[in-house]
Amino acid sequence: MLGINPVAGGGEGYYVDAVAQGVDEYYRGVGEAPGWWAGEAAGIELGLDGEVTSHDLRAVWSGLDPRSGEQLGRFANRSVGGFDLCWRAPKSVSLLFAFGDPEISREVRQAHDAAVAEAFRYLETNAAGTRTGRGGLQMEPVDGFVAAMFRHRTSRTGDPHLHTHVLVANMVRSGDGRWRTLDGRLLFHHSKTAGYLYQAHLRHELTIRLGVEWQPIVTGTADVVGIDRSVIWEFSERRQQIVEHMDNVGYRSARAAQIATLATRPDKTTPADGTIADAWAAKAVDIGFDPAVISDAIGVRPRRGVEDFQITHLLNHLVGPEGLTEKDSTFDRRHTLQAVAAGLPAGAPVSLIEQITDVFLDRPEVVALGEGRNFMHLTRYSTAELLRLEQRLITSAVARQDDQAGVVAPRLVDAAISDRPMADEQIAMVDQLCRGGSGVVVVAAAAGTGKTYALAAARQAWASGGYQVIGTALAAKAAASSKGPRASPAERSPSSPMTSNADASASGRRR
C-alpha cells in the first residue's frame, strides 16, 4: 500500500547514504540502487533528471536551487523538508522478485516500477497544491512535484521487501511564479486511493507479464496464489516485530502500528558473509521452503487484462445496496476509485480505473449532491435508490407524528426520572420520548453526552407502562445496552446540550 511520513531537514540523507557504492556492494546487499528524479517541477523548473545525487537532493530539501544555490522561496515556518511516500509490494510479490529466475525477477521489478509511476502520476494530478491568502484559505494549483524515487529490495531485517520511497520536497511553484510550501493535507487525503491504485496496477502488470493468479483482495491488496501463507509470515520478520509490540502494549490499530514501527525500528541489516541472495537462500532452507515452487505460480492464468463483462458487473454491483452505499450514504471520486481498484481481481491500469470511475459517476443511477464540506470541496454522490429509500423513511416518520405511540402515564415517567440524576437536556429527552407520542423520534447529541444513560430512564418508564422494549442497532453491543446501560461519571454530568428532535435525516438500507 502507501505510507506517508514527514521528513525533517537532514532526514533525506538516509536515502542517498543507503545507495550501494559500486556493483559489488549492491549484489552483496550492502546498499540499494541509486535514486532517480521524478515530478513535473523537478525537470521543468529545476532541470533535474536522471540519477539523484547527494548534492542536488540536499539542496532541494533545503529549498535551494541545485544549480545556483540560491534560495527559491521564503518558506516561512517550514519545519518539514518533505514527505516520504512509500509504496510496498505484497510480500508474495517480493518473494517472486527474490527467488524467481533473473527473467521473473526483472519482470516483477519492472511491474513494480510501472505501478509506482502510475500511482505517483495520480497523486501529482490530484494532490499537488499550495495555499495563499490570509490564513492560507486560498487553494492554488502548482506546476507539479519535485520528487526523488529510491527503489529498495529488503526490509530493515534483511527479508525480501520490494518497495519504493518517493521523497516529495515541501516546495512547489504556483502560477504566479513563486515557490511556496506544499499543502501536505492533500497528500494524506489521497494516500489511500493512491495505494489502492498502485496495487491494482501491479496486479495488472504481473497478470500480463507472468500470468499469475491472485488471492482474494483485502483492503485493496492481494497476494499471489501458490505461495504459502506460512512462508510469507516467515519472511516477514519486520511485521512480526511490529505485531509483537502491539500485542505487548495491548493495542491494534493503524496508529498503534505506526507507533510500533518506530519503536521497533532497527538499523538495516547486511549479510555478514556472502550476498543478500545467499542469506535469503539460507533462510529458505531453515524454514523448509523450496524456491523452485515459485515457477508453479507462473503462467497459471491467461495473460490478458480486464474484460468488458467484468467492468459491467462491477459497476452494477457498486450502484446497488451492497456497493458504495453499503456503509456510507455518500461517497466521492476517491471512494469510487478505491472500489473499482479493489473490485478487479486481476487489476487494471490506473488510467482505465479512472475512466471506469468517471463512467460510473455519470450513470443516471448516481446522483451528484454538491461539494463536500472539507477543504478539498470534492463533489459528493449518492445513489437514486438510497435517496428514494431515505425519502420513504422520512415520509413515514413524519406521517407517524400523531400516533400516540409509547405514551406512558406522567407518574411513571416522573418515577423513572427521579431514580437517576440527569441534566435538564436529558430530562427533556425522556419526557419527549415517553409523553410526546410520535411514532419516530430522533435524538441528536454529541458522543459522550449521556444519550444511552438517559435512554435507560425511558426504558424503565416504558416497561413500567406495560410496553415490551426491544433494542435494535447496527452493532449488537449497542443493541444489548438497551437492557440496562451503566452510567459513567461523564454521563451523569453531561456538559453538552442534548435535545430530542427530528433534525437528523433518517437513513437505512433495504436487505
Residue 464 has pLDDT above 80, yes or no: yes
Once rounded to an integer, what is the mean pLDDT over residues 390-405?
90
User: What is the residue type of 343?
Assistant: G
Backbone torsions φ then ψ of 169, nearest 5 degrees: -65, 145
pLDDT at 214: 97
Q: For 221-244, write each residue's pLDDT tens digit.
A: 999 999 999 899 888 876 666 665
Dig out the grid coordinates for 505 from the structure. 435525516
Residue 251 has pLDDT above 70, yes or no: no
Q: Which residue has the higher pLDDT, 263 or 169?
A: 169
What does 376-424 look like in DSSP terms, one character per residue? T-PEEEEEHHHHHHHHHHHHHHHHTTTS-TT---HHHHHHHHHTS---H
User: What is the residue type of 32?
Assistant: E
Residue 94 has pLDDT above 50, yes or no: yes
Q: How far apart are CA 42 and CA 416, in angstroms?
A: 70
Residue 497 has pLDDT above 70, yes or no: no
Cβ neighbors of 319 (< 8 A, separation 6 or more) are 360, 363, 365, 366, 383, 385
Dig out the grid coordinates for 428 from the structure. 427533556
Q: What percent of the chain shows pLDDT beyond 90? A: 54
Eight-class DSSP state of 167: E
Residue 504 has pLDDT above 60, yes or no: no
pLDDT at 273: 62
Q: For 256-305, write each residue's pLDDT tens digit.
A: 666 765 666 666 666 656 788 888 999 999 999 999 889 899 999 889 89
In the chain, what are the domains?
2-302 (no CATH), 309-399 (1.10.10), 410-500 (no CATH)
Q: With a threshold of 0.85, does the pTM exceed it?
A: no
- Helix, strand or coil, per DSSP, at residue 453: helix
Cβ neighbors of 506 (< 8 A, separation 6 or more) are 390, 393, 394, 397, 440, 442
Q: Which residue has the higher pLDDT, 383 or 489?
A: 383
The answer to whether the CB of 231 falls within 8 A of the CB of 221 is no
Which runs of E-coded beta strand occur in 322-392? 366-371, 379-383
Q: How far apart are CA 422 and CA 449, in angstroms?
A: 11
Cβ neighbors of 36 (< 8 A, separation 6 or more) are 50, 51, 52, 148, 149
Q: For 347-380, write each residue's pLDDT tens digit.
A: 999 999 999 999 999 999 999 999 888 777 899 9
What does 31-45 look like in DSSP terms, one character per residue? SBPPPEEESHHHHHT
